[in-house]
Structure 1
Amino acid sequence: MSDSFNKAELNQLLAQQALKSQKKHLNNKFIRWFKALLIPVIFLVGCEFLVRNGYIDAYLLPAPSSLWQSFLDLVHSDLFTHIYMSTWRVFVGFIIGSGLGLIFAIWVGLSKEAEAYLEPTFSAIKSIPSLAWIPLLLLWLGIDEGSKITLIAIGAFFPTYTNTVAAIHNVDKKLIEVGKVYRLSAFQRIISIILPAASPGILTGLRNSLSLSWMFMIAAELIAATQGIGYLLSDGRETSRPDIVIIAIILLALLGKVTDSLMKLIENWLLRWRDTLQK
């Protein structure tokens, strides 16, 4: 009887503990959402108050409540086409740029000879602003998709390259020695030891590359595009439509956040073996 009674008490205690843990998790999640939304909500309410009471002219900054109708008008025209084109350009440019960045970074990170030849050139090119590339790309590739994707690829290249080289250089030499003790080939050491050890830095570089891809996409579309979010920004400026400009900026923020969150999920899944303070 006492054993069954103790088991019943234990099960009840475990159930209560699980319920408390679930409530704590929900409360923490609510608090995180509250903190994340607090500043945007205060900003929107403040803008609404200032515009509605005449402190700011509506033609300079439309009231947030009036943006909804402008957004619906864009939805009924070709908004999703603009979103698709910008997302497609970012995706292709990011894949090309970050892929090349990984290849060159692994080469430079593992070869002192390659580092001596390539690192000075890449360091110089890295400091060139994105807008400086546009005239040259337009001359070489015209105003078609090639120039836009190339510009985005340039932006995506350097964060991946820089972070990957640094991550490879920071791999513990003792791990390499262990691989040599087990008589792993150079290729096996790269795949089994160096890349896994450098993966946190590599994934950080990829996330930074994705963020820069969106920035370079805007630079490309502002100059030469008839579709895309950058084109919406330019069109809103030329037609004196601040509502369109603001909607385009909000779309950029949302798309950037969504893609970064997806990259973070991939990063957490790939690095699930780590025992770190925060996951």
Structure 2
Amino acid sequence: MSIRKLVVGVGGVHEPDAVLPDAGALATRAGLPLEVVHAFDVSDPFVDTYLRFSTIPGDPLLHYAEGLQARLEGQLGGLAGECEVHCRAEAGQASAVLHEATCGGDCLLVVGPTRRGRVGAALLGTTAQRVLHGARTPVLVLHGELAPCPRVLFCVDVGSPGALAMVEGGLAVIRALCTKDTVEARVLLVVGLELDLPIPGLHERLASAARERLDAFLAELPEGVQVESVIRTGAPAREAVAEAAEWAAELVVVGSHGRTGAARALLGSVAEAIVRDAPCSVLVIPPE
């Protein structure tokens, strides 16, 4: 997996989006071009009124998009001098526009916190959820500037056939973004035990079996990949978020199943909860 450009989705053009400077710093450090994309809804009352009653000669939709693009360009400020930057505004659903912008492959899609403070319940059930579920390229949910060489926590389900590819894909993205060849990484496996059952030795037996599976999984990683490993017991999403906080991770990497509709329970619900509640940036790797 290689990264040839960053595509950053911004929610508004009337004031600077908080994700822009952090995405710009990331693109500059990695030496990658940055494409800034804004999607607008033609059914919005203001947009609809403009399109209906515009007196400017030519295509009113084109004029409106060009006006938004000019606003975006005005927000970029010093970024244009630091890295190659392009921006565009398109009519359509945000998730569809962003997916189209990355359909050429070799892209990293970057999204940021909402105006309500974070990618949480306000957004995750709508635009962000659709972006994450339908993405065929990695998606970075960026919470502030990413460190040049972040501490990375991989959350794995060793029973998933795509778990190894998720870790390898995550490492490839991180190497493309970081300034060092090696990163401090930890692989987490959570034994999903929601209830504390009063069975003597249960936790020890589960942890022992999980350790064997995790060791076998790590042995399949490419030669030279050095990671720590840790096992926790409990609700998977809660334990993943707790591990990220206690270990002071700067980036969490999870995999998505690429499903939509009734099967959404498995971005799955665990990965979705991690994206929502993690104390740091989260990189979501889609299935191959």
**Which is richer in helix?**
1
Shorter-chain TM-score tier: under 0.3
- TM-score, normalising length: structure 2: 0.21
When Rg is computed on C-alpha atoms for both structures, the one with the higher figure is 1
Give the strand-richer structure, 1 or 2.
2
